[in-house]
Amino acid sequence: MLQDWLFIGLLLPIAVLLPAVAIGLNWLLGPKKPNALKRSTYECGIETVGEAWVQFRAQYYIFALVFVIFDVEAVFLFPWAVAYDKLQLYMVLEGVLFILILAAGLVYAWRKGALEWV
């Protein structure tokens, strides 16, 4: 069981290392002549006003919130799907009930207008 995860434990550092080495190579080979103008923010030619870390519309945030609801619930459904072959019909129907409750959440968000792009 743990033996199976060893490969992933080895692959993840390698997968981090390879792009890091490539970028390191770039740092070694590339010229290093920074100046203030070169390092200024690239927006539209006019000097940038303020920084980008500002308050921003909450619309994007609402979608992320709706996502969290669905993703957490979907994780609960995976054990049910794995055990599917061993389940009786009524157990499957209980899973369906769970999905319907999930769908009710979607309908609620929909009716509330959380899914409208304004």
Partner 1 sequence: MSDPFGQISQFLLDLLTGWGLEAGLAAFLLKLLGAAAMGMLALFSTFLFIWGERKLLARIQIRLGPNRAGPFGIFQTVADFAKLVTKELIVPSGADHFVFLLAPILVVMSAVAVWAVVPFAPRFIGTDINVAVLYIVAVGSIGILGIMLAGWSSNNKFALLGAFRAAAQLVSYEVPMVLTLLIPTMLAGSMGTVSIVEAQRQMPFLILAPIPALLFFISSLAENGRAPFDLLEAESEIATGFNVEYGGLMFGMFFVAEFLHAFTIGALTTTLFLGGWLGPGVDRYPILGVVYFFGKSLLVWFTIIWVRMSLPRIRIDQMLAFNWKLLTPLALAAVIVFAVADKLAPGGVLGRTLVLLAGNALLAVGTLAGLWVHARASRRAATPPVGSTAPMRVNPS
Per CB under 8 A, residues contacting partner 1 are 4-8, 10-12, 14-16, 18-20, 22-23, 25-27, 29-34, 36, 38-43, 51-53, 56, 59-60, 63-64, 66-67, 70-71, 74-75, 77-78, 81-85, 87, 89, 92-93, 95-96, 99-100, 102-103, 106, 109-110, 115, 117-118
Nearest to 63 by CA among 2, 118, 104: 118
Q: What's the min distance (Å) between Cβ of 14 and partner 1?
A: 4
Nearest to 105 by CA among 66, 58, 65, 72: 66
Q: What's the min distance (Å) between Cβ of 63 and partner 1?
A: 5
Q: What's the min distance (Å) between Cβ of 36 and partner 1?
A: 7
Ramachandran angles phi, psi of 34, nearest 5°: -75, 145
Contact 92, 84 (CB under 8 A): yes
Distances (CA, A) of 64 to 30, 100, 114: 39, 21, 11
Q: What's the min distance (Å) between Cβ of 35 and partner 1?
A: 10
Place of tokens 């390191």: 24
